[in-house]
Amino acid sequence: MNQSRLATRKYYSLPDPLPLWRGGSLSSVTLAYETWGRLSPGADNAVLILHALTGDSHAAGLPSDSDRKPGWWNPLIGPGCAFDTDRFFVVCSNVLGGCQGSTGPCTTNSESDAPYTTDFPVVTIQDMVRAQRALFDGLGIRRLAAVAGGSIGGQQALEWVLRYPDDVDAALLFGASERIGPQAVSFNHVGRSAIMLDPAWREGRYNPGEGPSAGLAVARMTAMITYQSQQSMWMRFGRFPTSRSASPDRFGEKFDVESYLDYQGASLSTRFDANSYLYLTRAMDLYDATEGYESEEEALRRVRARTLHVGINSDWLYPPGDVRATSEKLRALGKDACYREIDSVHGHDSFLKEWERMTELITEFLPAASSTQPRTAEKRAYATGE
Amino acid sequence: MNQSRLATRKYYSLPDPLPLWRGGSLSSVTLAYETWGRLSPGADNAVLILHALTGDSHAAGLPSDSDRKPGWWNPLIGPGCAFDTDRFFVVCSNVLGGCQGSTGPCTTNSESDAPYTTDFPVVTIQDMVRAQRALFDGLGIRRLAAVAGGSIGGQQALEWVLRYPDDVDAALLFGASERIGPQAVSFNHVGRSAIMLDPAWREGRYNPGEGPSAGLAVARMTAMITYQSQQSMWMRFGRFPTSRSASPDRFGEKFDVESYLDYQGASLSTRFDANSYLYLTRAMDLYDATEGYESEEEALRRVRARTLHVGINSDWLYPPGDVRATSEKLRALGKDACYREIDSVHGHDSFLKEWERMTELITEFLPAASSTQPRTAEKRAYATGE
């Protein structure tokens, strides 16, 4: 077993209170994180990986005590992988507001000595990124070689290059745009409504382990539909009856896709906190990359990093046209932005499935290692053409 | 006020028990219906209008005692309208399993002297159409000039021409195909799960007026998203904050689209029965027009009616490709089927919004009145070309 694939969850407590984008502050913030590879003597090889909505810091590696699954980007992170841990010091932290070790609604509020639950303040992607910046200060890393993520993780990558233009060399955004549309907000609203409908939610004041698991399951089902495409659902489920339960319920036989959704819903409920789901989907809704700037142009003009914007042709949660639009606006401002597309039936989830294409896109975009990289000429061509 | 626009809800009780497609029978079935126009002496001018999921018999007319809204196809039904009540005897009945006057889960089961609730049997589109056929027997009408409907109503129109090929001259299907896909089943599953999650559902044994209104509201919200398109939601709601409530809730300010969904959800809950919603969405899921036949070809070969299949370019619940496919299969079998498309941003709901285009399509397709119709030549050209 390769040592660089092993990681244990570490914790970093911010030395100062975290001021919040929408006002107020959090007096005490801890981020859970994992790292792979080794920080270079010059501290110039750090790559920050940013997880999607219900993800965690376990981006790579085998199942561990704290994470029963292999890393969610495991095929992309490791020695010789797209994010080559022989070259890069890869870091992934659980987001602020999350429930996988970082400060969130489950955390004990030092002022009341009880979990925050719904007294937790509204947190935004801006806040998540500010907390990440503090983590890197703590790690003694001033500048990142790259930030990379999909979905809400990609929006954090975008926020990094807007907020800290001098601190990032390159950003890779997969299925992520400057803001989501009203349809995506609506699906989040349905999910939140289902959680709040569950009597176990109790206005958020449930005890650990007694949360609104059925409501969270319905929220997850709704989201799972948006992560896939009509075509991939036809291919995978068609109209086949379920094979998971022998007898029809009182409303007639169930379809396979229903059993699948039930399973996915129940599965998330065992590993995720419902209040955290409320806060994180809200952060997804609220994010508009250009908020707080005079204009979109003023915001995008700040970018100094090279950026890769990857759309997915079957993605309807973050439509490829929206992803492409950001890259085009950046290019119009003279920035080093490029757009690539993943051609896949898998919809939004493609950035968690299309490993070969993802590897190709990341490898093509990331700066070559000066000593070992044979494809310098190709890279240059790539950087100038689109 | 034109008399032919007034209608009162009437009731027809089937003289015989209704055998059910999935086995068993309903001993006593009543259908609520309304009519407009006058039956011709030859009883050859009847048009059956088939409502969508949560619709009712009030297809046309001003608000009445039983229906507080104007007819849901009001601009299409009336003197001089596309369904011209000076020519046609227009009938619309509430579906079996519904809750607007026809036998459904709310109806008292004569055997137990209590409402069926979830003891109501699984009903299918095949059963709905069989009950409608019995209604027309009762009205003394052997053959229909046309059947027309959108969505699940259009699927009933398709079922009519498959099951009773000798009894229908023409069928008009709007946003309706032979079966829905796994994504649409999934959205129905989310809706049903939300209803059952509501503690007021009580396994369906709620008292009238004490049903799972919050769960039904979430189901409705989910469905409302699928009736619209991304583009129409951008146009209508954008990312505007709500204007309906002054203060942000604890999770930050609400978007206008969220208030809209809340309103639509609450609105359905005041007029619709949650158990009925469970049964009708199940009927939508279960329907496959070719079920019970050796092959799709064997099924479609039965059709003798002229058929008009109208897809909507922005419809993702019943994608236009699926709608078109049925017409093409029918044509390949030598049938008089034609496909037309509505070009609209409004998604699936276009058949309830694009009145001008709907009027055009219906007028173009329906047989000309022999005495008053000046456009016979055009009509012939239409019938032979596509």
How high does pLDDT run on average in chain B? 92
Catalytic residue, from A315, A322, A327, A344: name it.
A315
Within 8 A of B221 by CB-CB distance, chain A residues are 186, 189-190, 193
Q: Give chain B's domains with CATH numbers.
A: 3-180+287-384 (3.40.50.1820), 184-283 (1.10.1740.110)
pTM above 0.90, yes or no: yes
Confidence of residue B66 (pLDDT cuts 50, 70, 90): low
In this predicted structure, what is the pLDDT of residue A369?
64
Query: In the annotation, is B151 catalytic?
Result: yes
A82-91, A194-203, B371-380: range with lowest mean pLDDT: B371-380
Sign of CA dihedral A280, A284, A289, A293: negative
Q: Which of B186, B194, B237 sits opposite A261 (nearest CB)?
A: B186
Answer yes or no: is pLDDT of B337 > 90. Answer: yes
Q: Which of B179, B190, B255 sits opposite A239 (nearest CB)?
A: B179
Catalytic residue, from B4, B57, B93, B151: name it.
B151
Q: Report how far residue A42's alpha carbon sits from residue A38's, in angstroms, rounded to the nearest whole number.
A: 11
Confidence of residue A379 (pLDDT cuts 50, 70, 90): very low
SS3 percent helix, strand, coil of chain B, rounded to 5, is: 40, 15, 45
In this predicted structure, what is the pLDDT of residue A248?
56
Sign of CA dihedral B226, A309, A174, A237: positive
Confidence of residue A7 (pLDDT cuts 50, 70, 90): low
Q: Is A245 on the interface with B (CB under 8 A)?
A: no
Query: In the annotation, is B169 catalytic?
Result: no
Q: Please name the residues between 81 and 140 in chain B that touch chain A, using a CB distance below 8 Å.
A: 118, 122
Strand partners, A25: A19
For B242-283, the pLDDT digits (tens) are 977 655 567 777 999 999 999 999 999 999 999 999 999 999
Between chains, do B182 and A238 touch, taking CB under 8 Å as contact?
yes
Query: In the annotation, is B189 catalytic?
Result: no
Between chains, do B182 and A22 touch, taking CB under 8 Å as contact?
no
How high does pLDDT run on average in chain A? 92
In this predicted structure, what is the pLDDT of residue B67?
58
Answer yes or no: is pLDDT of A89 > 60. Answer: yes
Q: Report how far residue A80's alpha carbon sits from residue A74's, in angstroms, rounded to the nearest whole number.
A: 12
Q: Please name the residues between 285 and 304 in chain B that touch chain A, using a CB distance below 8 Å.
A: 285-286, 288
As a whole number, mean pLDDT of residues B110-127 equals 95
Within 8 A of B179 by CB-CB distance, chain A residues are 239
In this predicted structure, what is the pLDDT of residue B243?
79
Catalytic residue, from B315, B322, B327, B346: name it.
B315
Sorted by sequence, the CB contacts under 8 Å of residue A190 that are 6+ apart come out as A219, A222, B190, B194, B218, B221, B222, B225, B261
Q: Which of B199, B257, B278 sits opposite A186 (nearest CB)?
A: B257
As a whole number, mean pLDDT of residues B179-198 equals 98
Percent of chain A with pLDDT over 70: 90
Q: Is A316 on the interface with B (CB under 8 A)?
A: yes
Is the Cβ–Cβ distance between A259 and A245 less than 8 Å? yes
**Nearest residue of A to residue B236, measured between CA atoms:** A182
For A185-197, the pLDDT digits (tens) are 999 999 999 999 9
Answer yes or no: is pLDDT of B384 > 50. Answer: no
Between chains, do B182 and A233 touch, taking CB under 8 Å as contact?
yes
In this predicted structure, what is the pLDDT of residue B62?
78
In this predicted structure, what is the pLDDT of residue A187?
98
Q: Report how far residue A149's alpha carbon sits from residue A143's, in angstroms, rounded to the nearest whole number.
A: 17
Between chains, do A189 and B258 touch, taking CB under 8 Å as contact?
yes
Answer yes or no: is pLDDT of A256 > 60. Answer: yes
A22-36, A57-71, A213-227: range with lowest mean pLDDT: A57-71
Q: Which tokens sit at A374?
A: 């044979």
Sorted by sequence, the CB contacts under 8 Å of residue A36 that are 6+ apart come out as A4, A5, A7, A60, A61, A77, A78, A85, A89, A90
As a whole number, mean pLDDT of residues B153-158 equals 98
Between chains, do B225 and A186 touch, taking CB under 8 Å as contact?
yes
For A279-324, the pLDDT digits (tens) are 999 999 999 999 999 999 999 999 999 999 999 999 999 999 999 9
Answer yes or no: is pLDDT of A377 > 60. Answer: no
As a whole number, mean pLDDT of residues B329-350 equals 98
Between chains, do A257 and B193 touch, taking CB under 8 Å as contact?
no
Q: Please name the residues between 150 and 209 in chain A that touch chain B, using a CB distance below 8 Å.
A: 179, 181-183, 185-187, 189-190, 192-194, 197-199
Sorted by sequence, the CB contacts under 8 Å of residue A170 that are 6+ apart come out as A145, A146, A147, A305, A306, A307, A308, A365, A366, A367
Chain B nearest-CA distance from A257, in A, is 6
Q: Report how far residue A251's alpha carbon sits from residue B123's, in angstroms, rounded to the nearest whole number.
A: 9
Q: Report how far residue A335's alpha carbon sits from residue A333's, in angstroms, rounded to the nearest whole number.
A: 6
Confidence of residue A8 (pLDDT cuts 50, 70, 90): confident
As a whole number, mean pLDDT of residues A242-264 equals 82
Confidence of residue A246 (pLDDT cuts 50, 70, 90): low
Is the Cβ–Cβ distance between A68 and A10 less than 8 Å? no
Q: Is B243 on the interface with A (CB under 8 A)?
A: no
Q: Is A230 on the interface with B (CB under 8 A)?
A: yes
For A143-169, the pLDDT digits (tens) are 999 999 999 999 999 999 999 999 999
In this predicted structure, what is the pLDDT of residue B250?
72
Chain A nearest-CA distance from B154, in A, is 20
Is the Cβ–Cβ distance between B183 and B76 less than 8 Å? no
Q: Please name the residues between 28 and 87 in chain A that touch chain B, using a CB distance below 8 Å.
A: none
Q: Which of B197, B238, B282 sits opposite A197 (nearest CB)?
A: B197
Within 8 A of B258 by CB-CB distance, chain A residues are 185-186, 189
In this predicted structure, what is the pLDDT of residue A249?
66
Distances (CA, A) of B273 to B114, B191, B204, B215: 16, 13, 10, 11
